[in-house]
Structure formats: C-alpha cells, structure tokens
A and B are shown apart, each in its own frame.
Chain A
C-alpha cells in the first residue's frame, strides 16, 4: 500500500488510509505517544511536576498496552479532579476546619454569682457579637459593647477567658479564629472586678 507522507508529520493521516491491519495499531509509524502526563506535570500544581515523567498519576491508562500490569497511580492531586465545583470544595474545607478539633468545642462558662456552670460549643459561633449575644441570652444579663481602648467599661459584666497559657484574658482583643483556638474556658466577671482588665 502506498503510504502518503504528509509534510505535517503530526497529522497522522495514516489513520484514514486503507490498510490491512486493524484500526488503531500503527506498528510502523513513529508513535505519537507524547505522554500526556508530561504535559500534566507542567500544568498542575508544583508538587506534581516534581514527579518523574516516567510514572505519574494520570499516565497509567495511557501506557498503551492493556496487558501491562500497571502499578497503582501515585497519590497526587490532579487539577480539577475529582470533578467537584469549587463552591462545594470550599464548603467542605471550612466544615473540616471545624471538625479537626473534634466533635464540637465545648467550654465551661461560669458567671460570677451563679450557682452552677454551663457549657457552650464555640464552634457554633462565627463572630464575637454572635457569641456575646448567646451568652447574654443564656444567663439573662447584659454584656454591652466591646471597645479596644475601654474593654467592656460601662457594662455590668465583662466576658473573660482562660487561654492556653493559663492566663485570663478579655474576650475580644484577638482575632476570632485565634480566640477560638486558644480559649479553654469562659468566665463572665462582674463589671466592678473586670475593670482591672479593661483599662491598663
């Protein structure tokens, strides 16, 4: 069979020619086996491009021969795989952050003058205002507004917490995420006592 060689070698017009062989096998042609995984390596996140091109996660099915016993793909993240929308991915990630520290983040809450303590799950709240409102509801008291300079001056009560170092801190001074990860217990102090914490 006459073989038409096209100057543009990559078009592989062989595929459309009449031949005796089965379609799909091109023993004589220089194999157009540019391993897609190489391009994947360049495309994907830096971690993946460090893998040697001879064996990468996405190349296994493309080694061509079916009877080859392919090793299981390397465990790496491929861009856009598994096919999950970014929105859903982000939601899952933020849920995971909540779960990582275990089921809920229950801390004891004591109020000066109250006969017994309560427990609340800090995970449930997303901001200081939410938390303070919940505390006000729970104990039927007023905590009022926080200010960086004055703390809770002017309120009957001031919320404080014990941090990881064992120190008693005023609620509101540090960013919420930092507070969440360092708060071990809460104590709602009577305003008169709290004034010592509020102003330096």
Chain B
C-alpha cells in the first residue's frame, strides 16, 4: 500500500502541523482486514511511535517500510520495527521530520536477522553502534541498498564495503575525515570491488582530495546525488570525467556555471538534472548558477527530460535555447529565487520563456513557473500544455484570467498549487466543472474569499473544500484553500483550524 497525505506545500511549512493524514486509523483497519500486509510506503503522512509499534506487531509478514517527508515519530518507533519485524527486507527513512533520540535503534535488529535488502538511515544524525551495523551488513547477504548517515566515517565505510561488494546503491556517510595513505588505498580498493553499484549519494562535507577514491565506481554510475556535498566547479569536473554513463545528477549550486559546463561535456546520456541552492536565504550571495549553466547543459545533454533548477537570474532567450536543444522535457521546474523577478537583461516578464517551454515540449507533464509573469504565461499554458498534469505557481499572474486560461485549456490537469497570486473567486469558480477530475487544488495568499469557497462547496457536493485561516486575517478572506474530490464527505480528523465547507 502506498499512501500520500498532506498537500505538497506542507513540505514548505504552509500547512498547519496537525492538519491530518495520520496513518493510525488505517493501520487499525488493515490489521483487522489485511493481516498479510507486507509493504507500506508513506509520503507526507503523520505517523507516531505508537503507530510504528502497532505496525511492527500486527503484521507477521511485514517486509518493507518506506517513509518520505513524514513526521510525528522518533527513533523509538524505528527500534520497534527493528525488534519485531522478523522478515523485514526494506527500511527506508527519507527526509522526515524525525525526532532523533539516538542511534540505539539499529542495535535492535536481532543477531538472527538476515533478510534486510534495503537500509536507508541517511536522514538521522545520531551516532549508531558501528559494530552492530557492521555485523548487520555482514550477515545480510542480499543487501543491495545501503545509505548511511553522517556519523559513519570513511574508515568505517571501507570496513562495511569489504563485506558488501554486492551493493547496487550506496549512500556514504561523512566523506571528510583525514585518511592515511593506506586507508585511502583500502577505501579505493573496497569501492572498486563494488561492480554492481549504479547509485551513489551522501558524500557529506566531501573533501575534494578523496573523491578520486570514487573513480572506479563512477564508470557504471547512472545516478549521482551530490546535493549534500558542496563541491566546487573543478572538483565536479574532475569527478564527472569518470562518469560517462550518468543519467541522473543532483548537485548544489556551489558547482556554478563552470561545473554545469562540465556536465554538458561529460554526460551525454543525462536525462535528469537537479540543482539545489546551497544558500537559499542569503540575499548577499552573488554566485550560484545562472542561465548560462543551464544552457551549457542543454547543449551537451539532448536527452534531458527532467530538470529542477534553482537560480538567481534567468532570461527568456536562454530558456528558448534550452528547450530548442531539449524538446523532450516532461518535467520542467524552474525556480528563480527572487519572487517576481523579470528577465534580468531585457527587464521583461518571463512570459516568453514559459511560452517557449509549452510550445516546444509537447510531452510536458509537470511545470513549475517563477519570475515575473503576467496572464500571458497562463494563456500560453492553457493553449499549448495539453499533456500537463501538475502545475505550480507562485508570485505570478495579473488577474483571474490567468487561472481561467489554465482551468479551461489544460484538459489533463490533475494537481494545481498556487500561492501568492492575484486569482480570486472568478478564477476559483471557473474550475467548478473540473475539480472532480483533478487530484487537488491548493490556493494560498490569493484573492479567494470565504463566500467564493462556500459557493464552490455548495455547487459541488463531492468536493471537500477545506479552508485554513490565518491568525488575525480578515474574516471574509480564505487564506489557504485546499480542494479535493471525495465520495466520503468531509473528513472527521480535521483540526479546529481547518474548516470543511
């Protein structure tokens, strides 16, 4: 079972903490009806330690637990899973709001336990008992995914790898301590024995001088996640020279445009690129990546179809060039970090940039827009983005017309999330007929009122129209609105701050 709960904007703290999406009631029903449950994958759900304990003891054949961007639990819950799930093959803990009370949970796997294939505890920061980990990895001969946390040192990594050369995916721990020459050679040797490795991540605080230890593994890598390693452009360039087969690359913008040029030069098979900002909140920063880096990648990587790009400047011309080079984009997520920023050369809105994207990339499924945008952007989207399923909009548009174009034109739209835009009731209501065929609509800090929401709720009884009010806001304003279809009526687990109209 895979369950996704809260609206995506909860990742950015826009949703009240106790909004709902608690897994417990589901587990109680599953335990009664599906005691043979083996796999549970949760995204943006609330899960408590009690729920994890209940899960661990209620399903005797439980095999795989994956938690992504969830919250409400601590390492005590993980201890319960490790203690009771005799057949566990997968424990994947990713990017959660977890209360890390210490690393003793890992020692709870019994000595007789050998079935683990996937272990990802990169999320956690506490020290774990390394001896326990070493024994665990040593006896789980089918382990193919191991993602360590920062507390595991390079020397310890080497010891683990010696006993697990079959690993396909590795998340290193901290990649920065001092190694003697002998230790370095041993690490390089251990890595070169990992013939099946196709995915590499971790590399926290990576020191450039030790990256060459990775070269033997790089030749076969298809996914390299450097988004927690603040590499410089020259360090990245040297590394990528050894990664000809790379299909997916995640980096920090510390690599700058020069680093991205190296991507274009060395990775012709690249399909996905994500560039995260190392200093998202520092306005004084003048480096990072610009339009030039993105353009350079597009020239060298014609197969690129997924991009997430955080930058501080962009031009319409650059985006037009990019999509000309890479017309197969399915996911185009561009975040110009200064809200409402225009083309920095012409000072015009970025309308033509996104116009080029939707006109050229006919397979486009997901789009995130940014920068200074007028209704024209949304006219383009409504007219051309016929395969668009997910659209994210922030600080954009001039009037209701913008959103109306999208609601009227994007026939395959499933998810629409909007914040800080001048779209009001007319825009909201223009989608009346459409919301039942969509997964959800989010609108926050727009011009929608309570009356507009009430009208929507009244006209469409099979929609849940939820309004979250801000403290101190005007009574008539609907600060945050979340609309989704339901045949079950209003949910009963909403907190008082969430009104279902």
Contact = CB atoms under 8 A, between A and B. Distances in A.
Nearest to B374: A66
Interface in A36-81: 36, 39-40, 42-43, 57-58, 60-62, 64, 66, 70, 72-73, 75, 77-81
A83 interface: yes
Contacts of A4: none
A15 interface: yes
Q: How many residues of B sit at the interface, in one of the four size bands? A: 35 or more
Given A10-B451, A123-B176, A24 B471 contact: no
Given A80-B14, A82-B335, A43 B277 contact: no
A180 to B, nearest CB: 14
A60 B339 contact: yes
Given A36-B420, A84-B276, A11 B13 contact: no
Interface in B419-459: 419-422, 424-426, 429, 445-447, 449, 451-452, 455
Given A42-B472, A60-B339, A75 B283 contact: yes
Interface in A121-162: 121, 123-127, 130, 134
A197 B241 CA distance: 54
Contacts of B153: 124
A98 B178 CA distance: 16
Given A61-B397, A82-B310, A85-B12, A10 B425 contact: yes
B175 to A, nearest CB: 10
A135 to B, nearest CB: 12
The secondary structure that dominates the B interface is: loop
Contacts of A130: 127
A79 B424 contact: no
Given A64-B422, A81-B394, A88-B276, A32 B447 contact: yes
A73 B370 CA distance: 14
Q: How many residues of A sit at the interface, in one of the four size bands? A: 35 or more
A85 B451 contact: no
B95 interface: yes
A82 B177 contact: no
Interface string B70-112: 0000000000000000000000000111000000000000000
> Which one of B228, B335, B446, B447 has the greatest number of beta carbons of chain A within 10 Å?
B447
A87 interface: yes
Interface stretch (A89-97, A167-175, A185-193): A89-97
> Which one of B11, B283, B404 has the greatest number of beta carbons of chain A within 10 Å?
B11
A62 B127 CA distance: 49
B13 A80 contact: yes
Contacts of A124: 153, 174, 176-178, 205
A177 interface: no
B445 A39 contact: yes
A46 B415 CA distance: 32
A86 B424 CA distance: 30
B181 interface: no
B422 A24 contact: no
Contacts of A57: 339
B169 to A, nearest CB: 19
A127 to B, nearest CB: 7
A95 B470 contact: no
A123 B476 CA distance: 53
A92 B372 CA distance: 28
B401 interface: yes
A86 B398 contact: no
B151 interface: yes
Contacts of B97: 86-87
A86 B401 contact: no
A23 B177 contact: no
Given A82-B310, A87-B96, A126-B151, A11 B278 contact: no
A137 to B, nearest CB: 9
14 contacts: A10-B425, A12-B425, A15-B425, A24-B375, A34-B447, A42-B472, A43-B473, A61-B422, A78-B339, A81-B12, A88-B227, A95-B204, A96-B279, A121-B178
Complex A-B, nearest 3 residue pairs according to Cβ-Cβ distance, in ascending order? A15-B426, A80-B12, A24-B401
